[in-house]
Structure 1
Amino acid sequence: MIALFQAIWKQKLIIIATTAVCGLLALIYAYAVTPEYKVTSVLRPAAINELDALNRSGVYTLPPSEALLKVGASLESYDSRLGFFRENQELFEKFKKPGRSLEQSFEEFNRDSLKLTQPDPKKADSLSAFIGLELNYPQGVDGVQILNGFVDYAINAERDQIAADLKVIVNNRLTELKGKINAARSGYENDKEARIATLEEADALKRAQLQDELKALRNQLKAQRADRMAQLGEAIGIARSLGIQKPTTPSALGDSARSGDSSIMRTEITNQQIPLYFMGVEALEAERLALQQRKTDDFTEARIAQIARELQLLQSNREVEVLKQRQNEDVFLQGVEPLRAEVVRLSNLSNLDFTNLKLVSIDRKALAPTSPVKPKKALILLLGLVLGGMLGVLIALVRHYAQARVAGPQPSMAPALSATLTRSNDAGLSGKTLQNDRS
């Protein structure tokens, strides 16, 4: 080892020169390679009051933690990243390479440059949830604008998605409520038509019953008049046979045959009905003539006048007229007031301003870095010097063994070799002498 070290030490200039050259090459590489920078943005859950307007809508609930996850999913989404890449191609000119399509250039950028970080659930280092986004970019690229722009793009995209989801939910709920109101309106119209039909049917039935009663009463009066005329005819015959021309009474008829004082006044009390023929021929014939000349018997029955009044009232049903003349029938719908109030409330949700909806809190925006993360010049220089030293030692060893093989054994090693050979010969001679003595 001492001889080896001496051989290496004799070639120290070669080792130093090799180390210096490698260090110089490493230093040139460190300054020649394009610097790479790194920016970071951190997002945390928004305050509860930021999402209060959305959560109080009653149709869309979004806790701050879920909003952060939605934005994180948008930041991690390949489609969101590609959309931002397409819309801001002027920011990604450095990532484009000849012969590659836009999607291929984006694929390399998405794989190597952009990274999403989240807290490790197994570790309790972070006191609250967060989402970090890191961007590595070469010199000449505005990485701060790219990262901050992409964060804003993802937040706006998620905000637009929430607005679209809320609009769809509200429209579906409005459609459902309007369907219920239309069902209530249809039920009301059916009830109204049924009510009108019921009233008209009741009026028709009542009218038919009254007309039947009127007809029966008139036939009854006609029969009573015929019976009265028959009675009058019979009474006229009796009165004519008795010679009664003027109305009289049974007692007066008995006293008419006796002569006497004609100035006698009689008062007759009886509980029996006096026969009709005592009315006399003249009165009976006058009554029969009047009955024969009568054209209608309606005035003789008070019920006929009542029937006529009822028929007159049945000619127009005021309730039916009022039902048919209703203009705004929605005010008569039953049980739709809560539905209408909900429709008005949901309609007002369409005016909800989402531009100021804060889904997440940007805890740290990307800022321009003060130094690149790559290359690490000191580390590269140190590595170059170490590798140069190792290469120099290797060259020295190779030269040493190459020279030793060409020149043969070294003079410094000859005495040792001759002493070794002498000891070997002496050992051989003593061995042969011992063998001869034994034989």
Structure 2
Amino acid sequence: MSSNFRAPSVPSSDDIDLVALFQSVMHQKKLIALFAAGAVLVAAIYAFSATPEYQVSSVLRPAAINELDALNRSELYRLSSREALLKVGAALESYETRLGFFRENQQLFKSFVRPGRSLEQSFEAFNQNSIKLILPDAKTSDSISTFIRLEMNYPQGVDGVTILNNFVGYAIASERKQIAADLNVIIQNSLNELSVKLDAARANYLNSKEARIASLQEVDSLRRAKLTDELKALREQLKIQRADRISQLNEAIGIAKSLGIEKPSSPTSLGESRRESGSIMRTEINNQQIPLYFMGVEALQAERTALQARKSDDFTEGRIAQIAKELQLLKANREVEVLGQRKNEDIFLAGVEPLRAEVVRLKLFNTNMDELKLVVVDQQALQPLRPIKPKKMLIILIGLLAGLALGGAVAVARSLLRRRPSFFSSEQVLTEDKSTPALVSKL
């Protein structure tokens, strides 16, 4: 037995009627408006109750060349305007510089201090969130774009203008002190080096002087020794000569006695005296040496007696007097005495005048860098006209959009929930219809 009964078609649960859904949502405009108004109210409360946050900035630019000319002319420290700007920028970014400023100006940072936090922790909160350093692009070499910009965000109740301006001044002063300290170290090292060179020149001079004195004394000693030897030899020679003369006189006296020559005579007169008698005056010219015994016994004995009684032969030799004179002069070397009596040795140092001039220049160099202008503060921090946060209109607009979105979502959800009961009833009818053919077939 067959049946032609057909169950009515039921729409699938996955099919949504968008037009009906939109109309249902539009019927809930008050609900959406209520959510939007609530969100706007919450956003407005936040926007007008949040602590305003302000921003100030300061711009630094390179100083003029003439500001650093005196420092560069000293030839002790070379610093260009750009390098000075970068040094100040490094000081502004330095953790140590910022912490030092924080410690020295704690009255300006009372708003950043929290109970239970150490000084360093309070500073860390300020350092991470408040100050930002902006540097120019390193690839840009144009002097117009060379600058350093320092920005600071701070909440209401904080004197951010004073903090930023004072911090810039503190960083510049800190870098100026660092340059002065570097200069002092450079000057001290240069003075130490010059002192070492002067000590070396002084030691070299003393060595040269001692060598000169030793050389002079050695020459004098050698000369004295030679003169003493010569004097001794001369005296010995004279002594021998005197002994030889006495021997000659003794021999001549014997001969004169044997010939009966008592008075000085000559060979011719001796011959004539034997042949003639009388007073005769003769003149004799003879180029031959007359023997000594012709001097006669009296003269020879007188000479021998004188020679035997002589105690010194020095007067017979002129060279001995000359040697005595030279020995007397060698007793004191005046050059050695003058060298030894020098009191101010430094004035005799050779080639140290430039070193002394450099020492004087370094000692007179003024290391007071208080007037040194490293950078130009092109723009100081000024009191801002309005806060940068919170942006009230933007927050309210975001609240409005969020409220509309949330209200719309709730309205859509309500519309979908309202459609579910009819869906359940249709599903029950469909189940009953599906069971009818089975009952008819059993009948």
- Fold shared, TM-score > 0.5 on shorter chain: yes
1:232-381 matches, within 5 Å, as: 232-262=249-279, 264-349=280-365, 351-381=366-396
1:26-37 matches, within 5 Å, as: 26-37=43-54
Note the C-alpha offset of 1:125: 9.3
Contact (CA 8 Å) 1:19, 1:385: kept in 2 or not?
yes
Cα shift readout 1:31-60 (whole Å, capped 9, x = no counterpart)? 100000001111111111111111111121
Note the C-alpha offset of 1:313: 0.2
Distance 1:303 1:391 in 2: 139
**Aligned amino acid, residue 179 of structure 1:** V
2:436 is equivalent to residue 400 of structure 1:
no
Distance 2:265 2:276 in 1: 17
Cα shift readout 1:232-255 (whole Å, capped 9, x = no counterpart)? 111111111111111111111111
SS for the counterpart of 2:372 is: coil
Distance 2:344 2:123 in 1: 62
2:118 is equivalent to residue 101 of structure 1:
yes
**Aligned amino acid, residue 116 of structure 2:** G
Match of 1:16 in 2: 33
Note the C-alpha offset of 1:274: 0.8
Distance 2:278 2:162 in 1: 150
Distance 2:201 2:92 in 1: 47
Cα shift readout 1:314-340 (whole Å, capped 9, x = no counterpart)? 000000011011121111111111111
Contact (CA 8 Å) 2:180, 2:368: kept in 1 or not?
no
**Aligned amino acid, residue 352 of structure 1:** T
List structure 1 segments (4+ residues) > 6 angstroms apart after TM superposition.
123-126
Change (3 A) 1:47 1:218: same
Aligned-CA RMSD value: 2.3
Distance 1:35 1:25 in 2: 17
1:59-98 matches, within 5 Å, as: 59-98=76-115
**Aligned amino acid, residue 317 of structure 1:** N
Distance 1:315 1:101 in 2: 86
Distance 2:139 2:22 in 1: 53
Match of 1:168 in 2: 185
Distance 1:170 1:125 in 2: 35
How many residue pairs get aligned? The number is: 413
Q: Which moved more, 1:310-319 or 1:69-78?
A: 69-78
Contact (CA 8 Å) 2:264, 2:295: kept in 1 or not?
yes
Note the C-alpha offset of 1:159: 1.1
Match of 1:414 in 2: none
Contact (CA 8 Å) 1:119, 1:126: kept in 2 or not?
no
Note the C-alpha offset of 1:121: 4.1
Change (3 A) 1:113 1:19: same
Note the C-alpha offset of 1:122: 5.7
**Aligned amino acid, residue 162 of structure 1:** I
Contact (CA 8 Å) 1:34, 1:139: kept in 2 or not?
yes
Match of 1:177 in 2: 194
SS for the counterpart of 2:237 is: helix
Distance 1:120 1:307 in 2: 93
Contact (CA 8 Å) 1:249, 1:278: kept in 2 or not?
yes
Cα shift readout 1:71-92 (whole Å, capped 9, x = no counterpart)? 1111111111111111211111
Match of 2:13 in 1: none
Q: Which runs of 5+ in 2 are unaligned?
A: 1-17, 434-443
2:147 is equivalent to residue 130 of structure 1:
yes
Note the C-alpha offset of 1:14: 2.3
State the TM-score, normalized to the length of structure 1. Answer: 0.89
Aligned match for 2:168, one of 132, 151, 155: 151
Note the C-alpha offset of 1:399: 3.2
Distance 1:170 1:312 in 2: 56
**Aligned amino acid, residue 348 of structure 1:** L
Distance 1:402 1:97 in 2: 51
Distance 1:287 1:125 in 2: 117
Distance 1:25 1:401 in 2: 28
Contact (CA 8 Å) 1:18, 1:392: kept in 2 or not?
yes
Q: Percent identity?
A: 65
Contact (CA 8 Å) 1:19, 1:388: kept in 2 or not?
yes
Note the C-alpha offset of 1:394: 2.4
2:429 is equivalent to residue 384 of structure 1:
no
Distance 1:359 1:316 in 2: 67
Distance 2:117 2:351 in 1: 66
State the TM-score, normalized to the length of structure 2. Answer: 0.89
